[in-house]
Amino acid sequence: METRTTQHLDTISRLYEETSPMLLAIFLKANIPEEDARDLVQEVFVKILTIDIILPEGLKGLAITIAYQKRTDWLRHQAYCKRMMTQMRPQTIVEQHELECQQMEQVEQRVVNRMSDKDAWVYKLSRFDNKSTQEIMQITSFSLRGVEGRLYRTRLLVRRTLKAAGF
């Protein structure tokens, strides 16, 4: 069973290296911001990791299918948000948006304060200092996978916390 798990992870790892640029391009072609696009690529592979039986010959197609589904979901959500914003009065939108942004920043800061020092460091470099993963890798001396993993986990934690808070 251990060998099968190792083979399973090796297959997914090779798929990640081979297809992540292509999956990222799928999201970027839809004008999804790069940070969101990278998160969506990570979500594709998290979804793949939940699959018990992997058929290597069909895995690339599965990843592409999941990516297109996630892209469609993201675009639908953006369209819904835009539609909701156009239905509100302009002054109300500005006031509500400013208040909501302040509340979101407070929630985000509380989440960051509860992170481990290394996770918080990587998250702050990315989110507040606008550093790329390559720059973060050089600053922190973490591997590329380490930086991407920390960014994925911390962004996911922030998103889930914001969602639970009603944002």
User: Would you state the pLDDT for residue 114?
Assistant: 94
Q: What is the pLDDT of residues 88-98, one digit of tens each?
A: 655 555 667 77
SS3 for the chain, per residue? Answer: CHHHHHHHHHHHHHHHHHHHHHHHHHHHCCCCCHHHHHHHHHHHHHHHHCCCCCCHHHHHHHHHHHHHHHHHHHHHHHHHHHHHHHCCCHHHHHHHHHHHHHHHHHHHHHHHHHCCHHHHHHHHHHHCCCCCHHHHHHHHCCCHHHHHHHHHHHHHHHHHHHHHCCC
pTM of this prediction?
0.49
User: Would you state the pLDDT for residue 92?
Assistant: 56
In the predicted model, what is the mean pLDDT of the chain?
86
Q: Read off the pLDDT band of 137 (50, 70, 90).
A: very high
Lowest mean pLDDT among 23-37, 47-61, 66-80: 47-61
